[in-house]
Amino acid sequence: MKKAVIFDMDGTLWDSVDEIVESWNKTCPEMHIRREQLIGLMGKTMDCFAKELLSEYKLDEAMEIIHACERDENEYLSHVGAKLYGDIRKVFETLRDMGYEIGIVSNCQAGYIEVFLKSSGLGKYFRGHLCFGDTGLEKHDTILKLMNTYHLKDTVYVGDTMGDFLSCRKAGIPFVFASYGFGDVPEPDYRISRPADLTKLFG
């Protein structure tokens, strides 16, 4: 069994909020999305986005609009990318040299993680990844599915929201709070103020 670090995406590896706002407002101008709105929803599943941003629509109609936004977002981000936090590449290289497998689990749509890996050029560092769009499962179950698929036992999860923390509790693994992200977790197992702190934490 292998030791591993599994990462969340938004607020942990990169900040794509401004790009998503721009893309979604082009796809659906009537939503008038602002950065502050999206930050409050980051880490949640897409049905939560639909209920919050398109409350005047029936859920199935709102989800159709959200899916259109997701498709356009993936296409847009594949061209423009987004802001990475710190020197992520160096962090991944160090973790790999320390013997850690690296993965991603997110509540994002299918294809979003692949866009991140391609636009950032970091795909070679990751053992595997899964998201809500792939599995349709709650986050803790998606984490466990990734762990089982790649035989990961000694695993920690790095994220930035209370939802991430609660998912780790359900999955039975330690949680590392990325305090530079979008959320607040008062009592995490570990806390980092930048990605590079991980190499000190596990060193």
pLDDT in tens, 55-100: 999 999 999 999 999 999 999 999 999 999 999 999 999 999 999 9
Q: What is the pLDDT of residue 1?
A: 61
What does the alpha-carbon distance between residue 71 and residue 37 come to, in Å, rounded to a whole number? 20
Q: What is the pLDDT of residue 153?
A: 87
- Ranges of residues in the chain with a pLDDT under 70 are 1
Token readout for 24 is 């979604």
Q: What is the pLDDT of residue 6?
A: 98
What does the alpha-carbon distance between residue 158 and residue 168 come to, in Å, rounded to a whole number? 9
% of the chain exceeding 90 in pLDDT: 92
